[in-house]
Structure 1
Amino acid sequence: MYKINDLEDSLPNTPVQNIHVEVCQSPCSTAKKSQLQQRTESLLRNQRMIYGELKLTEFDDAFLAEHVKSIAVCDVEFEGGIKQAINMCHVKLFIHVYKLGMDGPGQEELDDEELAAANHWMLPSVDFDGMWENLIFDDCIKSQLLQYAHTTLLFSDKNVDNNIISWNRVVLLHGPPGTGKTSLCKALAQKLCIRLSERYVYGQLIEINSHSLFSKWFSESGKLVMKMFQKIQELIDDPNALVCVLIDEVESLTSARKSSLNGTEPSDAIRVVNALLTQIDQIKKFPNVLILTTSNVTGAIDLAFVDRADIKQYIGVPSPAAIYKIYLSCINELMKTGIIYPTQSLLDLQSLRSINFEKTDATHFSLRLKEIADGSYGLSGRTLRKMPFLAHALFIQRPSVSLEQFLNSLSKAVQKQLVDRDNLKNE
């Protein structure tokens, strides 16, 4: 991490804003990080003023053009959500340089077991590139998770006694299917590996296949969980690695022991829960591990596991405001690729609010999109991301389309989706 701290002394009465900059280095580049950080600093200082987040992919500087894929000014926060100009000469820059791994996931198999127990990525990975930026939520969920991860490191670095102040390095995201819980876990792992690239040489993401750890042999599942965590322990033992363990649909592993005791679940479920809780308690002492879990059915999770989760974050369906942002990002992508042509400007919600949603020629299409977003409330994030595709597939079927025609088709696709959903419920 490259920090520029000298501005605090020159501006003693001015609050200095922290700005994180992520520099994606070209795969074949052999340039030193320090060189890329210095060139990036010079580029951004010369920009003088920026408005919100910024991503650059083309550079006049020949050195940057040769060695850098992109430079992104990330996670810029504004007071009250109102965008303001940022003077790049009056901020503290944290410049993170990273390379994307091009390999896909490998599989972890347990000894003597014919099953794929987990998928395994080296991070940062091209598989998750851009995922963090494209996840849209209604509150500060993403920034809170980042702050949580940094606090776990701070407390470890300062040797805070875990017997006095307790934290378990466990995050639980829960809510209905399709709301982005699993994607958020993967994106968080990637983001942390980038932000902590000066501290950890590389990252590991282990996505445990919960269902595969239930053995076909009675009473073996608890042993399989222990074998899985033994493999994870081998990764954690490398202090140069940041290890993120993802347990999707964690209720599969933590079925309530109450059900087992009542005789409605096999006793094997008790062994699985006990094995999982024991392993979590053992690895929490390591500063380079984070356990990320998701659940669609929180009532089925063992309370002892829920109690161990430091963060228990509900992820619900997007609000109309979040839906508008999702649709806006989709339309901008279709304009960039030429499927929507010609390119036209759409206003963000903040700009619309600033003019009290006044109807003019300049706001016509933006207000039409807001109307569609309001009518899409109740659809999951996963479904919303499909709607532009379905709009084209069902109602356009041409290489390019005007913005007006696309918005009309999007409205039809949303109405069809809502009708189809209601029909499925009524069957």
Structure 2
Amino acid sequence: MSSSLHVEVVQKRESQANKDSIKDIVHSYLANFVSVTPGVTIKNNELEDNLVLKDHIECITFCDEEHDSEVAITECELVYHVFKFDIFGVETDTMTDIASGEEIAAADIWALPTEEFHGLWESLVYDSKLKEDTLRFVETAFEFADRHVDPNVISWNRVVLLHGPPGTGKTSFCRALAQKLAIRLNNKFPRARLLEINAHGLFSKWFSESGKLVAKLFDRIREIVEDRNLLACVLVDEVESLTHARRAALSGLEPSDSIRAVNAILTQLDRLKRHPNALVLTTSNVTGAIDVAFIDRADIKRRVGPPSERAAYEILRGCCGEMMARGVVAPREQLFALRILEASRFADTEGSRASLRLWTVAREAAAAQMSGRAMRRLPFLARALHTRGEPTLPQFIDALQAALRQQLNDAKDLEDDSLPLQCNKLKQ
């Protein structure tokens, strides 16, 4: 076998079959395939006449990032991950601010894998090897723990820092990564939790109580990670708010309790690394404001910027595919992957015309440094404001371009309107 291909199998909630039986059923089914394409999902309604599969399986996804084209079944080892979605959804952990009596939402907690994050990993598109590198980082961290590598000799903290402008998918990536790990590491950790802490919303309320509420929150986290059969992913969004608090305190703009609260958080993060089943994921929108003390703790630090031309094309191609799959755009037509267009040197043929038109829109969006979040909003705006009835794919791509240009004009108008206000503030 030259390589492995991960196959994720979502088992129906009502199915009572054990995982080994499900693997055998799926393996027999896939033995009829000559090749498979990574990133493709076979849904329940596409399983044709295989009643056994239809009774037990929601979908099958081929999801290995190392393969960017079709893979021959006989040339790879299929690695199966069978799982059911958690049914409880998100829970909110609250704490009481003793000074004000106010109930504070300390963290949102998901039991993983959850249906809410299904498909999120596959929907995220990057030019860099962010997905592959982060997965390898986590796998290596757990390998070191399993082999009892001495952390006093070789240092690693199991801390990931993603930084970059808003709307580039940093938080979504962290959620998707936690979901992916819950699936991939299920044999090692039968249970998994994502604990999402909103630093920006909480820290301003914590400072009056110094580190007390910080300690309470991390006591709760430590209760969870005491279960060594549970994978705990702790997500701290907008971690730069730590730095703001400490700098403001040192400048005399915040009470000294702020420093104690921030230091308490950093200390608690340090303590988490003693637990081999804990992983800390953090994001920052303001790169220059990230605390140096925290940066030193992060093992892997990656910038997540606006989509490039290639990423923009794949994002919009996925959006168009979804619109056609749901019948909003009809009839269903093929949009070629960018590597196919490149192989043909972007030849203009009847079959490639829609793909080339979409490539033009993607390049325009990338040139404008549009965020991934804004890009994924374009299909909605195109449908709402620039189409009527049931558009064809070419009509819809024209509507996408019209929505893009209107978005860019609206953003420019907003920027122009804000300039007088900024000038007045400078004068004052």
TM-score higher than 0.5 here? yes
Further displaced range: 271-280 or 214-223:
214-223
Superposition pairs of residues 186-197 of structure 1, within 5 angstroms: 186-197=175-186
CA displacement at 1:408 relative to structure 2: 1.4
- CA distance in structure 2 between the aligned counterparts of 1:221 and 1:284, rounded to whole angstroms: 23
- CA distance in structure 1 between the aligned counterparts of 2:57 and 2:287, rounded to whole angstroms: 43
- Residues 157 and 376 of structure 1: CA distance in aligned 2, closer, same or farther (over 3 Å): same
Question: Could you tell me which of 387, 397, 404 is aligned with 1:407?
Answer: 397
Assess if the C-alpha contact under 8 Å between 1:214 and 1:221 holds in 2.
no
**What stretches of structure 2 of length at least 5 have no aligned partner?**
418-428
Query: Which structure 1 residue ranges, 4+ long, deviate > 4 Å from structure 2?
Result: 215-218
Letter in 2 for 1:120: I
Question: Could you tell me which of 251, 258, 262 is aligned with 2:251?
Answer: 262
Letter in 1 for 2:393: L
Assess if the C-alpha contact under 8 Å between 1:215 and 1:224 holds in 2.
no
Further displaced range: 260-269 or 88-97:
260-269
Instruction: Write the deviation string for residues 100-132 of structure 1: whole angstroms up to 9, x where unpaired.
Output: 113321110125661111111111011111111
- CA distance in structure 1 between the aligned counterparts of 2:207 and 2:19, rounded to whole angstroms: 53
Question: Could you tell me which of 316, 332, 339 is aligned with 1:350?
Answer: 339
Letter in 2 for 1:46: N
- Residue 426 of structure 2 is matched in structure 1 by none
- Residue 18 of structure 1 is matched in structure 2 by 4
Question: Could you tell me which of 373, 377, 381 is aligned with 1:386?
Answer: 377
- CA distance in structure 2 between the aligned counterparts of 1:92 and 1:76, rounded to whole angstroms: 15
Superposition pairs of residues 75-154 of structure 1, within 5 angstroms: 75-78=64-67, 83=69, 85-110=70-95, 114-154=103-143
Assess if the C-alpha contact under 8 Å between 1:255 and 1:273 holds in 2.
no
Instruction: Write the deviation string for residues 231-257 of structure 1: whole angstroms up to 9, x where unpaired.
Output: 000000011111011111112234363
Question: Could you tell me which of 263, 266, 282 is aligned with 2:271?
Answer: 282
- CA distance in structure 2 between the aligned counterparts of 1:285 and 1:203, rounded to whole angstroms: 18
CA displacement at 1:137 relative to structure 2: 1.0
CA displacement at 1:51 relative to structure 2: 3.6
Assess if the C-alpha contact under 8 Å between 2:323 and 2:329 holds in 1.
yes
CA displacement at 1:89 relative to structure 2: 2.3
- Residues 54 and 405 of structure 1: CA distance in aligned 2, closer, same or farther (over 3 Å): closer
- Residues 256 and 116 of structure 1: CA distance in aligned 2, closer, same or farther (over 3 Å): closer
Give the secondary-structure state (helix, strand or coil) at the position aligned to 1:107.
Answer: strand
- Residue 32 of structure 1 is matched in structure 2 by 18
CA displacement at 1:216 relative to structure 2: 4.5
Q: Cα RMSD (Å) of the superposition?
A: 1.7
**What stretches of structure 1 of length at least 5 have no aligned partner?**
1-7, 9-15
- Residues 381 and 212 of structure 1: CA distance in aligned 2, closer, same or farther (over 3 Å): closer
- CA distance in structure 2 between the aligned counterparts of 1:316 and 1:160, rounded to whole angstroms: 34
Instruction: Write the deviation string for residues 126-164 of structure 1: whole angstroms up to 9, x where unpaired.
Output: 111111110111111111111111011000001000011
- Residue 11 of structure 1 is matched in structure 2 by none
Assess if the C-alpha contact under 8 Å between 1:369 and 1:407 holds in 2.
yes
Give the secondary-structure state (helix, strand or coil) at the position aligned to 1:187.
Answer: helix
- Residues 135 and 103 of structure 1: CA distance in aligned 2, closer, same or farther (over 3 Å): same
Residue 302 of structure 1 pairs with residue 287 of structure 2: no
Residue 56 of structure 1 pairs with residue 42 of structure 2: yes
Give the secondary-structure state (helix, strand or coil) at the position aligned to 1:179.
Answer: coil
Assess if the C-alpha contact under 8 Å between 1:317 and 1:380 holds in 2.
yes
- CA distance in structure 1 between the aligned counterparts of 2:234 and 2:240, rounded to whole angstroms: 15
- CA distance in structure 2 between the aligned counterparts of 1:293 and 1:307, rounded to whole angstroms: 13
Letter in 1 for 2:296: D
Give the secondary-structure state (helix, strand or coil) at the position aligned to 2:74.
Answer: coil
Superposition pairs of residues 162-311 of structure 1, within 5 angstroms: 162-214=151-203, 216=205, 219-255=208-244, 257-311=246-300
Residue 420 of structure 1 pairs with residue 410 of structure 2: yes
- Residues 267 and 86 of structure 1: CA distance in aligned 2, closer, same or farther (over 3 Å): same
Assess if the C-alpha contact under 8 Å between 2:42 and 2:59 holds in 1.
yes
CA displacement at 1:53 relative to structure 2: 3.4
Letter in 2 for 1:71: I
Residue 65 of structure 1 pairs with residue 43 of structure 2: no
- Residues 76 and 295 of structure 1: CA distance in aligned 2, closer, same or farther (over 3 Å): closer
CA displacement at 1:334 relative to structure 2: 0.8
Assess if the C-alpha contact under 8 Å between 1:253 and 1:269 holds in 2.
no
- Residues 303 and 395 of structure 1: CA distance in aligned 2, closer, same or farther (over 3 Å): same
- CA distance in structure 2 between the aligned counterparts of 1:411 and 1:215, rounded to whole angstroms: 42
- Residues 203 and 215 of structure 1: CA distance in aligned 2, closer, same or farther (over 3 Å): same
- CA distance in structure 1 between the aligned counterparts of 2:258 and 2:251, rounded to whole angstroms: 12
Question: Could you tell me which of 298, 304, 324 is aligned with 1:335?
Answer: 324
Further displaced range: 245-254 or 51-60:
51-60
